[in-house]
């Protein structure tokens, strides 16, 4: 399977805990994006990378959210001190170039108790 | 202001009926792209179509067709002879150049989606 993969698919955590999600993009894609989707809404853009450079992070929801892509391949999204409002689906996508089609992974569904 | 509006929250039709999903967008950019994605109950977003702002030709792919009209800033999606497997949430999305999307961002702006229910 050469599509975008995400791990884990589901995560249940207690409020105040840190969580980290992983995304593996399509291998030749150098752009990688993170989105959050809450119930009944469309995905909301959070941040993106071109290779290992994070080109936009002002859309991250708070300073508890951070993302990395250390070698320009997989990426991680970390949420520190989780809150119940962080419960959502976190989606990763990748593309070849700017404004090209973004292909999405299956998402990580987070539930904060 | 909402940049992508999908006014139909939910549509329910009987199988084999034709159905049109509306999408209206707003941008000052002259070079932009529009997309449709399908999200079945499994949750994964499936790419359907990408259209650039300079190409106003309608497109047909099997039972799917898209009508792009710059004059009304609309990019509507029609499913002909709908089937139960078409049941899903459909999202319209806009990609502007970073100058217009703000802060150099290259992310898609999505509408709220239309939940399509095809009844057997």
- Return the pLDDT at B103: 55
For residue A20, name the pLDDT band (cuts at 50, 70, 90).
very high
The mean pLDDT values, 10 residues at a time, for chain B of 120 residues are 89 98 94 95 93 89 94 96 97 85 75 97
B47:A56 CB<8 A: no
Write out the DSSP string of A37-64: E-TTS--EEEEEEETTEEEE-TTSSSTT
CA distance B41 to B39: 7
Asked if omega into A8 is within 30° of 0 (cis), the reply is: yes
Task: With CA atoms as reference, report the closest residue to A81 among A61, A51, A59, A52.
Answer: A61
Cβ-in-10-Å burial (0-12, 13-18, 19+) of B117 comes to middle
Residue B7 has which token pair?
A: 């006014």
Contacts of A42 in chain B (CB under 8 A): 4, 91, 93, 110-113
Summarize pLDDT for A44-86 with one digit per residue, the tens: 999 999 999 888 888 888 999 999 999 889 999 999 999 999 9
B45, A43 Cβ separation under 8 angstroms: yes
Mutate which: B53, B108, B111, B115, vs A, most A CBs within 10 A: B108
B50, A97 Cβ separation under 8 angstroms: no
- Return the pLDDT at B101: 65
Three-state DSSP class for residue B98: helix
The answer to whether B23 contacts chain A (CB < 8 Å) is no
A43:B45 CB<8 A: yes
Among the partner residues A58, A104, A107, nearest to B103 by beta-carbon distance: A58
CA distance B110 to B116: 17
Task: With CA atoms as reference, report the closest residue to A113 among A21, A6, A44, A11.
Answer: A11
The answer to whether B25 contacts chain A (CB < 8 Å) is no
Q: Give A22 to chain B, closest Cα distance, Å.
A: 16
The answer to whether B33 contacts chain A (CB < 8 Å) is yes
pLDDT at A1 over 80: no
The answer to whether B70 contacts chain A (CB < 8 Å) is no
Mean pLDDT of A26-41: 94
A80, A64 Cβ separation under 8 angstroms: yes
Handedness of CA B56, B47, B95, B110 (dihedral sign): positive
């Amino acid at each position: 399977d050469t599509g975008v993969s995400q791990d884990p698919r589901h995560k249940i955590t207690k409020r105040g805990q840190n969580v980290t999600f992983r995304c593996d993009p399509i291998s030749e894609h150098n752009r990688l994006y993170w989105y959050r989707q809450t119930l009944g809404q469309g995905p909301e853009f959070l941040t993106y990378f071109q290779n290992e450079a994070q080109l936009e992070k002002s859309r991250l929801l708070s300073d508890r959210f951070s993302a990395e892509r250390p070698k320009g391949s997989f990426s991680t999204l970390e949420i520190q001190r989780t809150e119940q409002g962080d419960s959502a689906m976190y989606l990763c996508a990748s593309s070849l170039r700017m404004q090209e089609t973004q292909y999405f992974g299956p998402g990580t569904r987070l539930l904060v108790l | 202001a909402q940049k992508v509006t999908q006014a139909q929250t939910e549509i329910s039709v009987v199988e084999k009926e034709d159905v049109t999903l509306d999408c209206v967008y707003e941008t000052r950019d002259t070079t932009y792209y529009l997309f449709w994605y399908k999200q079945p109950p499994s949750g994964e977003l499936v790419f359907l179509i990408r259209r650039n702002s300079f190409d106003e030709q309608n497109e047909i792919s099997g039972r799917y067709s898209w009508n792009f009209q710059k004059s009304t800033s609309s990019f509507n999606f029609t499913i002909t002879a709908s089937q139960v497997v078409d049941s899903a949430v459909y999202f319209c999305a806009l990609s502007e150049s970073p100058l217009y999307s703000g802060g150099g961002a290259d992310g898609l702006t999505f509408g709220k989606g239309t939940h399509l229910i095809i009844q057997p």
